[in-house]
Amino acid sequence: MAIKYIPYFPNTLEGQAVLDNFVRTKRVLRYNGNDAVTEHIRRGMPLYETELQERVGKNENGNLVLRGECLSACAYLKDKGITVDLVYIDPPFASGADYAKKVYLRRNPKVAEAIRQAESELDIEELRSFEEKMYGDIWNKESYLNWMYENLMAIKSVMSDTASIYVHLDWHIGHYVKILMDEVFGEDNFRNEIVWHYTNKMSGSTKPHDFVCEHDTIFRYSKSENYLYYTISEERDEPVMQSKRVKIDGKNMRARDEDGNIIYELSTEKKIKDVWTIPYIASTDSQRVDYATQKPEALLERIIKASSDKGMIVADFFGGSGVTATVANKLGRKFIHTDININSIQTTRDRLLAAKAEFDMLEIKDGVSLYRNPVQTMERLKSLIIGLRNEDALDEFWEGSIIDSKYGMTPVYLPNLMDSTTRMLDKPLMNEIIHKAIPDLPDETKRVIIYYIDIDDPEEIQRFIKEHGNPLIEIELRDLKQVLDNVVAEDYAEWNIQEARDGLFNAWKVEIIQFQSDRVRRKIEEINQKNQLQVLQQKAKGKEKTFSPIIISDEGLETIEWISLDCTSAEKDAPWQSDSEIKIDKSGYVIKNGVKTTEYWDACIISEHKPLRMKIRNICGDETVFVI
Ligand SMILES: C[S@@+](CC[C@H](N)C(=O)[O-])C[C@H]1O[C@@H](n2cnc3c(N)ncnc32)[C@H](O)[C@@H]1O
């Protein structure tokens, strides 16, 4: 439950398509068939508790990596009185795609010998990798725009007066968001529409008779008239002769010699205008971190140099691979990175650590212990609610139904974790349930189950149900968090620890003997079952196909991605202090404390001092802490 709601300035919204230019001052509750406004509900940014997970370095600059939604991150900043000087966001584009991460089994050092013989087999990508969904980008336009409106309002409320915002989109939804931004920031504060022109990206599904798309759009707005802007230049392909410019009486004029002739000089640089030609990151580029929607550092370099000074705070509330934070840090700015996806947080952490950045990692306790990310949590949820099944007789408002011996078919409503506006069970939602969803149910319905994450005021909601509900249909409210709390089964590890010498120094060596992750095994079982089914279907069509399952060894060491030792605190829930860490890349090479090596992992990790706790991240991104 949110501690409080911090209202936006002015207030907020619901409902209307943006192009109506509706004044969204309040969320309005209307009764079905009756236009009279009977209730106003003030909405804002939900402020949740936060937990410090890890401090990397001393972090005197207050850099932040926040796991949580954009809205709750803004509430946190507002509550702490932190304002930001530059915002870049590259939110989901409403592209209609599901973004996935490729997960690779690592090389198991314990069975390296046996594997060597079968090495050629191991190189077959399908036998050692699978995909996991990270986030869905499938929206209807209106809910996307309402969601975006809330986010933009929240972001604006934490921007300093001289701050600028860059919003990166493309043809899917960009034009609508431009209008929305005019509304939120004011048309007068529109500064540029930047075209990011890339030439080396595989074109999507362009039809043969359409032009191929080769650009994204970045809208630049300022919070006020008084904003920072620095001209930035790039090198010309070929130097050109240009007339020399001088300032005379404050005016920019051509320079002339004593005889009045224009003076020319060789120009090697040119001002950057609003079309930016920057290539996509090549697959071999060292900045690649395997994040599906990763943007090039060069893009962020321009933005940060043009609109901020050293020491200023640069924020990205949809931070993904951490490109904004990384470049901001490199250019001497402070950074705030937010994302809901655990994979983004881990990728960014590791990327920043390798760049020797200092920062705090915070988790926003938004009431839902999200299972890696909202898409996967939604998928898990459906399997966790006992008896929940698809029900053809119900419309899409309902997730499915449970068959109950007393009540018969019981429709079940689940909030959509990908859409923060459905997280709160408030009167408008209850009104929709009572007046729109329930009347459409089959006549024999006697009970419905409504799951919620956050509830506005439980007693008031119950009163509302009593007053307006159908007395013949029971409405049962259930807390979704209790279902989610049962989700997390921690991973299991066995290890040996011994004092050893590391060159000239004394050291502690931890050797991992066994690592078992139910979560990874279950995922692989699911993938194997799916693949087997596909092969059977292909065979049924007469196609030659064989099924080769992904196999994990008994030791399970190939399911480890990262290990860290904390030699400072033995308390299980204390913030993490990584005194030594290794990451195993997808080819099996070790990255030690952020530095790449050409060594294969030998199942060990070494620290200078006695380790008190060990954290292991599995290849899907779940982390478990073991007290040593
Ligand atoms: C297009 S990607 C950003 C890519 C990033 N610019 C980069 O270069 O790596 C969008 C990101 O938004 C995150 N996201 C989606 N909804 C969010 C929300 N409500 N709050 C915070 N992050 C969100 C996704 O997890 C994803 O990482």
Give the model confidence (pLDDT) of 479-500 as tens digits.
887 787 666 678 999 999 998 8
* Percent of the chain clearing pLDDT 70 (strictly above): 85
Mean pLDDT of 13-39: 38
**Is residue 32 over pLDDT 50?**
no
**Would you place residue 453 in the very low, low, confident or very high pLDDT band (cuts 50, 70, 90)?**
confident
More confident: 61 or 376: 61
Closest atom, ligand 1, to C-alpha of 320: 27
What pLDDT, on the 0 to 100 scale, is given for residue 18? 41
Q: How far is the CA of 91 from the centre of ligand 1 (A)?
A: 5
What pLDDT, on the 0 to 100 scale, is given for residue 17? 40
Mean pLDDT of 572-594: 92
More confident: 151 or 614: 614
C-alpha to C-alpha distances, 620 to 2, 101, 373, nearest whole angstrom = 29, 9, 11
Q: How far is the CA of 321 from the centre of ligand 1 (A)?
A: 9
What is 340-390 written as a DSSP string?
S-HHHHHHHHHHHHHTT--EEEEEEE-S---SSSHHHHHHHHHHHSTT-B-
The structure tokens listed for 588 are: 């099996």
What pLDDT, on the 0 to 100 scale, is given for residue 124? 61
Residue whose CB lies within 8 A of the most ligand 1 atoms, among 293, 294, 418, for a mutation test:
293
Q: How far is the CA of 80 from the centre of ligand 1 (A)?
A: 23
Mean pLDDT of 507-530: 91
Task: Return d(Cα 306, Cα 228) in angstroms, integer.
Answer: 8
Q: How far is the CA of 319 from the centre of ligand 1 (A)?
A: 5
Residue whose CB lies within 8 A of the most ligand 1 atoms, among 146, 201, 318, for a mutation test:
318
Q: How far is the CA of 76 from the centre of ligand 1 (A)?
A: 18
Mean pLDDT of 230-250: 90
Mean pLDDT of 180-201: 91
Task: Return d(Cα 544, Cα 529) in angstroms, integer.
Answer: 18
Q: How far is the CA of 95 from the centre of ligand 1 (A)?
A: 13
Q: How far is the CA of 113 from the centre of ligand 1 (A)?
A: 41
Task: Return d(Cα 431, Cα 428) in angstroms, integer.
Answer: 5
What pLDDT, on the 0 to 100 scale, is given for residue 484? 74
**Is residue 252 over pLDDT 50?**
yes
Lowest mean pLDDT among 107-121, 490-504, 596-610: 107-121
What pLDDT, on the 0 to 100 scale, is given for residue 122? 47
More confident: 39 or 474: 474
The neighbouring-strand residues paired with 468 are none
**For ligand 1, atom 12, which residue shows the shortest CA distance?**
318
What pLDDT, on the 0 to 100 scale, is given for residue 38? 39
**Would you place residue 381 in the very low, low, confident or very high pLDDT band (cuts 50, 70, 90)?**
confident
**For ligand 1, atom 4, which residue shows the shortest CA distance?**
320
**Which domains are assigned to the chain?**
49-97+137-207+216-225+274-365 (3.40.50.150), 233-271 (no CATH), 374-484 (3.40.1340), 492-627 (no CATH)
Residue whose CB lies within 8 A of the most ligand 1 atoms, among 76, 340, 346, for a mutation test:
340
Closest atom, ligand 1, to C-alpha of 91: 10
Q: How far is the CA of 36 from the centre of ligand 1 (A)?
A: 39
**Is residue 503 over pLDDT 80?**
no
**Would you place residue 204 in the very low, low, confident or very high pLDDT band (cuts 50, 70, 90)?**
low
What pLDDT, on the 0 to 100 scale, is given for residue 370? 67
Backbone angles phi, psi at 54, to 5 degrees: -160, 145
**Which residue in this structure is represented by tokens 């599906």?**
292
Residue whose CB lies within 8 A of the most ligand 1 atoms, among 217, 344, 416, 418, for a mutation test:
344
Parallel, antiparallel or unpaired: strands 400-404 and 408-413: antiparallel
Ligand 1 site residues, Cβ closer than 6 angstroms: 69-70, 90-92, 135, 291, 293-295, 317-318, 320-321, 323, 338-341, 344, 420
**Is residue 105 over pLDDT 80?**
yes
Mean pLDDT of 470-477: 94
Closest atom, ligand 1, to C-alpha of 344: 27
More confident: 583 or 116: 583
C-alpha to C-alpha distances, 512 to 313, 508, 569, 571, nearest whole angstrom = 41, 13, 20, 21
**Is residue 620 over pLDDT 70?**
yes
Q: Any idea what DSSP says for residue 286?
A: T
Please name which of 318, 314, 294 lies closest in space to residue 306, comparing C-alpha atoms.
314
Q: How far is the CA of 199 from the centre of ligand 1 (A)?
A: 23
Each residue's pLDDT tens digit, 533-553:
988 888 888 888 788 888 899
Backbone angles phi, psi at 613, to 5 degrees: -140, 155
* Per-residue burial over 125-157, b = 16 or more CB atoms within 10 Å of its CB, e = otherwise: eeebebebbbbbbebeeeebbbbbbbbbbbbbb
Q: Any idea what DSSP says for residue 279?
A: P
**Would you place residue 126 in the very low, low, confident or very high pLDDT band (cuts 50, 70, 90)?**
low
Residue whose CB lies within 8 A of the most ligand 1 atoms, among 135, 377, 420, for a mutation test:
135
Q: How many residues does the chain have?
A: 628
What pLDDT, on the 0 to 100 scale, is given for residue 137? 67
Number of CB atoms found within 10 A of residue 318's CB: 23
Average predicted confidence (pLDDT) for the chain: 85
What pLDDT, on the 0 to 100 scale, is given for residue 8? 55
Q: How far is the CA of 423 from the centre of ligand 1 (A)?
A: 19
Backbone angles phi, psi at 489, to 5 degrees: -105, 120
Q: How far is the CA of 121 from the centre of ligand 1 (A)?
A: 35
C-alpha to C-alpha distances, 1 to 72, 153, 456, nearest whole angstrom = 12, 22, 9
More confident: 407 or 455: 407
Q: What is the pTM of this model?
A: 0.85
What pLDDT, on the 0 to 100 scale, is given for residue 486? 64
